Each structure stands twice: as C-alpha cells, then as structure tokens.
Structure 1
Amino acid sequence: MATFLERIFKLSENNTNIKTEVVAGITTFMTMAYIIFVNPSIVKATGMPFQAVMIATAVSAAFATLCMAFLANYPFALAPGMGLNAYFTYTVVLGMGLSWQEALGAVFISGVVFLLLTLTKVRETIINAMPNTLKSAVSAGIGLFIAFIGMQNAGVVVDHGATLVTLGDLTDPSAILAIVGIIITGLLMAKEVKGSILWGIIIITIFAIPLGVAEMPQKIFEVPTLSSWSPVLFKADIAGAWGKGILTIIFAFLFVDLFDTAGTLVGVSQQAGFLDEDGNLPKVERALLADSVGTIAGSMMGTPTVTTYVESASGVAQGGRTGLTGVVISLCFLLSIFFTPVIAIVPAAATAPALIIVGSLMLRNAVHIEWENIAESLPAFVTIIAMPFTYSIATGISLGFILYPIVKLFHGEGKDVHWVVYLLGALFILKYIFLGGA
C-alpha cells in the first residue's frame, strides 16, 4: 500500500509521508466540517430539504476534492461555497423569484462556462497574470479573513450598531474556550507537536462538553438512505434557468467563484511553497479543472457552486503537500454521512482557534510585498484589508486589480503590467458601475 501511495502521490518528492498527509487531511476536514450543516441550514430557506442537502453537501465535497487529489495532486479541499450559497438562496431564489431547481440549473450552466474557460486556458492566464505583489497580498488577506471568521465564530468579535464590530463577551464559555484553544494550540506548535491544530480541536471539543457548549451525541452511527437524498438529486432545471434570461445571475456565480478560487489557490499555494520562481502555480489548469467539474457535478447532486476552500490552509500548516491529504478529506466527508451525530458536536469554539492561528501563518506572506514602493504597496494593502472588511475574497482581488494598473501607470511603471491586468481592471470597474457590489 505504501509503495502504491508513493507512486500515485509522489510523497517523497514532496517531502511528506503517509502519517503527515493523514493528519493534514483530518485537520482540514475538522476545520471545514461545519459546511455539512451550515450549507443546508442556509439553502433550506429555498424549500430544499435539510437532510437531502446535507447528504448532497458531503458527497459533492468528497467528489470534488477527489478530483483535485487525482487530477492535480494538491492538498486542496473543495465544497459548496459560503457566500455563494447565500447568493443562491437570498438573491437568486428569494430575491429574483427563481425556483431552487432553476437556481441549480444556473449553477450547472456557470460550471459548464467555467469548464470552457479552463480548457481554453483563460482562467489559467488570469491567475498567472496576477502580479507577485498581489499574490502575496491575497495570501495575507485571506489570512486576516479566516482569522476574522474564527474570531466571529468564537464570539470574541461581535456586531455593533455604531462601530460595526466590537469585542464580545469574554466571559462567555465559547469565547473562553476559543482563547484557551489558541493558547493550547500555540503551545503545541511551539513544541513542534505533529497535528497540533487537530489536537487543539479535539481537546477543546472535550472541554466544551461539561461547559454545555457541546453536547454528547445521542447516538454514534446513523445510516442514510437514497430516499433521503432523492428530493434534490438530479433536480437541476437547466432549461428553466436558461429560459429566465439569467445572464446576470450566471455572471455573478462566475465572478465570485473565479476569483474566490483564484485567491484561495494562490494564497494557500504560496503558504505551501507550491508557486514556482515566477510566482506561478504548476498544474493550475488541473486544479481549475477539478473546480469546474466539481461545480457541474455538485449542481446535479443538489448543491450551489462548489469551490476551493481557504480552510485547506489548516491542513497545509500541518504538512499536507499532496493529493493524499485530499483523499483523506474525501473519506472523512463520506464517513460523515454515517457519523453526523458525532461530527455535529464539534463546536465553533473548537475550530475557531485553528482558523485564527492559520490566519497568522498566512499573514507572514505580507513580508514579500515591496512596502517601500507605493505602486506595489498601496494596491497590496487595499487587497489585504478589503477581504475582511467586505467579507469577500473576490472583492479584495477585484479592488487590487483595479488599483494596481492605475497606480503603476501613474508611477511610470505601466509597461511592467501584464495586459490581462489592465483588461481585468477595466472589467471590474464596469462591473461595479453596472452591477454594483453584486
């Protein structure tokens, strides 16, 4: 078995081993397992059955992540995208009046367009045209973004009517557990304990039970049935979606997924050391192919757009370097269908420290930015702060693409900017003029 895995995933060549990849896979799964419950809880407002969407979420995540593992041999996890599921629910279905079947049809169409853009290398060209300073900024920005998500999940940061955000109640058990989790995980990492992030999640989950933040499961094992999944399986109404004149909807799906995926791939790849000397990601076309196929298959399974997850950084931080990490993640998603009662007890307070610590690791990439050069530092800074401030990776990237060529041009360095960056900057300006922040 070890020889087979070595031949398929090239473990030695990537300076990793089976144990490290397994720990990395479990860690990534633990930090993103929330999607199994959060995705159906969001889209159920469309009328889609919770149990059916939960199964669809786990299966589509497993399938897409396996595609990434075997097509690109990267440790990236994919699942129905947060933000995209909210757009699917509140804008497309509840706002525009499409049925959820037609909305799934729109997701399918956007996936096909993605596939065509991938096969024609348009998406690859866009990602490789990104200036190195923006790639570093994207990685750092994602770090702040996921740390902010972790702080919110823990209740350390809460909303405020006057200042938008403020400090939460630090006497709340969830906040206390998260703070303790950061300390414990940090100490384990300082001692170079393998799987420290995963151990931190497990320890805090155990602590959470007597504090009432997590509950002991009523049962361990639950066998799903096909009838539980069938209400959403193969229910995408492609013809109905096409007949509604949904160009704007498809563009929104394309825009968010393209640049969320681009940002995640670049940011996590830089963290893992996958980028070559020119700052490009080898085999990026295979990674994008997995993303496209995952979206098409996910729409048929009954979920909104599937995308690459920033939580992949948690597994990378644990040493995950190959598709074997993805195989482990996929197996965990498939097993989760049978062990949902156990997985459900892991509280946000246990996974929040992982997101915060991984965010701090990703922020290190900001040192690669030429801060003394305003033409490089200003677009990078806007990219970094826009992600947590607007709660969108895609928005941070778009503002960076708009500002970078403008500042470089007036700084006398316009000839150093790739023509694709000029084109995208202009398209983003038009997008904000005619579509606003949608």
Structure 2
Amino acid sequence: MSNGKAQTGFLEKTFKLSENKTNVKTEIIAGITSFMTMAYILAVNPDLLSAAGMDKGGVFTATALSAAIATLIMAFYANYPFVLAPGMGLNAFFAFTVCGIMGYSWQFALTAVFIEGIIFILMSFVNVREAIVNAIPMNLKNAVSAGIGLFIAFLGFQSAGIIVGDPATLVKLGDLTQPAAIVTILGVIITGILLHKKVKGAMLIGILASTIIAIPLGVTKLPSSFISMPPSLASVAFKLDFSNIFSLDMLIVIFTFLFVDVFDTIGTLVGVASKADMLDENGTLPRVKPALFADAVGTTAGALLGTSTVTTFVESASGVSEGGRTGLTALTSAILFLLALFLAPIFGIIPGAATAPALILVGLSMMSSVLKVDFDDYTEAIPAFLAIIMMPIAYSIAEGIVFGMVSYAVLKLIAGRGKEVSPVVYILSVLFILKYIFL
C-alpha cells in the first residue's frame, strides 16, 4: 500500500497532476487513447518508406523508437500531453518526391532530415520557433484549432473509405456499404453515445469496440502470434550520405522539411493547447520551448535510427479530449510505443476504420474553438476562415497557417491597422510569398 502511495506521490510531484486538475487514471487512459489513434503510423510509415527502398522491418523499429524518445522528452522536459512520431505527409515527401521524382537515395533524404533536426535544435536555443508561436494572433490560434478539427475529421472519413478520391471532383462520398465504412459508422454511434453519457475512456472503448466489430466483417483479423522480437535496425540506422550536402537540391529538400515541420508542429501545439485551455491570458503556450525541443531531438534521433521527420501528432487531441493535461499522458504513450516493438502483431490488428471514429469526434470537439473567433471584424475573420478551410483542402496544417498569416498581415496593412501585427508575422509573410514564387 505504501509503495503504491509512493508511486502516486512521485507522479504527482513529477507531473503536477493536482495543479493541472487531473489524476493518474485519467492521464493513463488519455495516453492509451492518443497511442491507439496514432498507432497506425507503425504500419503506414514502414510501408511508405519502403517505396524509397528502405527495409520495412528496420523502419518499423526506427519509427517506434524515435516516437518513444521524442515523446519521453515531451513528457519529462515539457510536461505536456502531446505525442510525437514520424509525421504523415513528410514521409510521403521523403519517399515519393525526394527519392522518387528527384531520384535521390533514401540515404540522401535521411541526411536532409538529420540536418533539419540539427537546425531545429539550434533554432530552439535562439528562441526562433518560440517567437513564431507567440507572434500568431489569438484569433488565428483559435482558427488553427478549428481547422485542425476539420482536418483530422477529414482524415478519419478518408481512412474509413467514407470519403474517397475522384478525378473530376477530387473527393466524393465512398461506398457506405463497404465493411470499413460500416465499422466507422457504428464506431461513431457507439463512441458518441459513450461521450453523451460521459463515460470515462469513451474514445478508447470506442476504438476497441470498433476493432471487435471489424473482425467478423473481415476488415481485420486476429494475428497468428501475439509477441515477436523487434526487427533489426542494421539495414537503416546510421546510413547518412553527405556527398551532396552542398547541392541546391539538398538546400531545397532541407528547407521543405524545415518549413512543413515547423508549422505543422506549431499548428498542432497551438491548436490542441487552445482546445485544452492551456494557453495563458496572452494567448501564449507556457513551456513552449521544451515542447519544440522535443520534436527537434526526435527528428535528429529519428534520422540516425532510420526514419523521416518526427513531429507532434495532431492525434494527441484525442488524449486531450479524454482529459490528458500533463506529461503523464505522453509517458503512457511512449511506453506503449516501446511495448509495440514486442507486440507488433497485437497493435497491427487495429484498422484505420476503428480509429476513424475517434478522429471524427475529436474533430467535432476541436471545432468549438471557432466560437472564439471574432467574425464581426473582417480583418480578423477572413484570415481565420482561410486558415480553417485551407487545412483540409490543401491537406496540410502548415499551408492553412500560411494562408491565415499572410492574409492577416495584408488585410491589416490595407486597413491602416498595420501596428496591430507583430513584426515576426510580417517577416514570415514575406518569406512565405517568396517560397511560393521561387520554390
């Protein structure tokens, strides 16, 4: 009994649970929920990077380890409930653009990621990224949260096949009679009822229930074994190639990785923190520096281990929706990433259709931030709207922020209210415009 109290006391002291109005049970459930909604990365990332010629098994191990390392830093250094892993979009750019269209080796791409990570670490020391976070106006921060809500709901519908690609209209309604779509629809209903009844762990229960439903429908199947040793890293770890380090292509690739990761991470941190009321009275995120440092180290370590850029995952919002408020949520997710190394067959049975309901309903909850946007002032409303709508349309949190910030600076200037805009926003807006012109 005394040992249990000592452990609880350690967790209370380390993560300041009472101060953050939470408890051990809530944080652990939140951590499990965040992990479950983003466990797909353990399957998707190796599959994508294998298209660049990398060994799937080695990338699986690198993905789990880099996620655990970065998330542990977030847990103990920043004390935030955010979970990190190799980011979607960035891994596709790695495999299909750098290694596909540009024709470079995956070793070249890993080197670009490694250099990007080093630059990130240096930027953290000189507070560049912290200044960017603090410069984003409050209306845009609320808009970013709502935009992320739309974006992750869209991801949920897409992973379930409820929304599919179409050459004429880009997207259209999929076949709702398909098993994956049925699993997601039933999952939304089950999870929605649980949320309505305020059942603790509703998201997690919904994911598990959806997985069970998916088995007889053939969307997933039970594994032949439940435990396996982690695949070797030997084929992908420490395979950097510095032979083209001073080329223009290397500069462009590093800049692209840097740009997307900076604004994806900032957007996710600001958006999820806004939803969880973690921003202070000035609209800034306390301890943002260690939070940004976590993904900088994660990216550097991930490149050495053999995976693409590590970033803060928007799916962290699912754990926050379950009440996660401290690093104990992140610690729980990190431990599960380490366990996943040995329990890959078990985690592998959770299909995208089973995590889709959580993404859709978390998207709903994040949309409430739109109520805080000032729609009566068009110099505030138009940038907010552009940030919200461009995230799902452009399939990028970063691009949504760009549209929001550039339009904010331009409209304020034209309206004769340029002094309301931070100099940082003006500088970034010019850089964004130059990027679109020349890159």
Task: Settle same-fold status: TM greater than 0.5.
Answer: yes
Matched ranges for 1:203-242 at <5 A: 203-224=209-230, 228-237=232-241, 239-242=242-245
Q: TM-score, normalised to structure 1's length? A: 0.97
Structure 2 gaps of 5+ residues are: 1-6
Q: Counterpart of 2:194? A: 188
Q: Counterpart of 2:428? A: 424
Q: Per the alignment, in what secondary structure is the counterpart of residue 242 of structure 1?
A: coil
1:202 CA drift (Å): 0.2
* Cα deviation 1:257-297 (Å, max 9, x = unaligned): 00000000000101111100010000001101111111111
1:188 CA drift (Å): 0.3
* Cα deviation 1:7-39 (Å, max 9, x = unaligned): 111111111111101100000000000000100
- For residues 110 and 207 of structure 1, the distance between their equivalents in structure 2, rounded to whole angstroms, comes to 42
Q: Counterpart of 1:260? A: 264
* Cα deviation 1:373-410 (Å, max 9, x = unaligned): 11000010011000000100110111111100111112
Instruction: Choose which of 294, 302, 309 in structure 2 pairs with 1:290.
Output: 294
Describe the shift of the 1:241–1:358 C-alpha distance in structure 2 as closer, same or farther (beyond 3 A). Answer: farther
Give the number of aligned pairs. 432
Q: Per the alignment, in what secondary structure is the counterpart of residue 171 of structure 2?
A: strand
| 1:349 and 2:353 aligned | yes
1:344 CA drift (Å): 0.9
Q: Counterpart of 2:12? A: 6
Q: Counterpart of 2:395? A: 391
1:241 CA drift (Å): 4.4
| 1:322 and 2:322 aligned | no
Q: Counterpart of 2:414? A: 410
Instruction: Choose which of 134, 144, 147 in structure 1 pairs with 2:150.
Output: 144
Q: Per the alignment, in what secondary structure is the counterpart of residue 253 of structure 1?
A: helix
Contact 1:146–1:359 under 8 Å retained in 2? yes
Q: Counterpart of 2:141? A: 135
Q: Per the alignment, in what secondary structure is the counterpart of residue 386 of structure 1?
A: helix
Contact 1:253–1:305 under 8 Å retained in 2? yes
Q: Counterpart of 1:28? A: 34
Structure 1 gaps of 5+ residues are: none
- For residues 243 and 297 of structure 2, the distance between their equivalents in structure 1, rounded to whole angstroms, comes to 21
- For residues 78 and 381 of structure 2, the distance between their equivalents in structure 1, rounded to whole angstroms, comes to 32
Q: Counterpart of 1:165? A: 171
1:366 CA drift (Å): 0.5
Q: TM-score, normalised to structure 2's length? A: 0.97
* Cα deviation 1:93-145 (Å, max 9, x = unaligned): 22222211121111110111111111100110011000111101111000000
Q: Percent identity?
A: 58
Write the letter of the residue equivalent to 1:169: D
Contact 1:101–1:235 under 8 Å retained in 2? yes
- For residues 327 and 263 of structure 1, the distance between their equivalents in structure 2, rounded to whole angstroms, comes to 22
Q: Per the alignment, in what secondary structure is the counterpart of residue 46 of structure 1?
A: coil
Write the letter of the residue equivalent to 2:325: R
- For residues 378 and 37 of structure 1, the distance between their equivalents in structure 2, rounded to whole angstroms, comes to 39
Contact 1:103–1:241 under 8 Å retained in 2? no
Q: Per the alignment, in what secondary structure is the counterpart of residue 243 of structure 2?
A: helix
1:192 CA drift (Å): 0.5
* Cα deviation 1:209-263 (Å, max 9, x = unaligned): 11111101111111225xx2111112122x2241444111111011000000000
- For residues 334 and 162 of structure 1, the distance between their equivalents in structure 2, rounded to whole angstroms, comes to 43
Instruction: Choose which of 277, 301, 317 in structure 2 pairs with 1:313.
Output: 317
- For residues 61 and 43 of structure 2, the distance between their equivalents in structure 1, rounded to whole angstroms, comes to 10
Q: CA RMSD in A?
A: 0.9
Contact 1:106–1:241 under 8 Å retained in 2? no
- For residues 93 and 204 of structure 1, the distance between their equivalents in structure 2, rounded to whole angstroms, comes to 36
Q: Per the alignment, in what secondary structure is the counterpart of residue 307 of structure 1?
A: strand
Instruction: Choose which of 350, 366, 372 in structure 1 pairs with 2:370.
Output: 366
Q: Per the alignment, in what secondary structure is the counterpart of residue 224 of structure 2?
A: coil
- For residues 393 and 99 of structure 2, the distance between their equivalents in structure 1, rounded to whole angstroms, comes to 26
Q: Per the alignment, in what secondary structure is the counterpart of residue 262 of structure 2?
A: helix
Q: Per the alignment, in what secondary structure is the counterpart of residue 229 of structure 1?
A: coil
Write the letter of the residue equivalent to 1:331: I
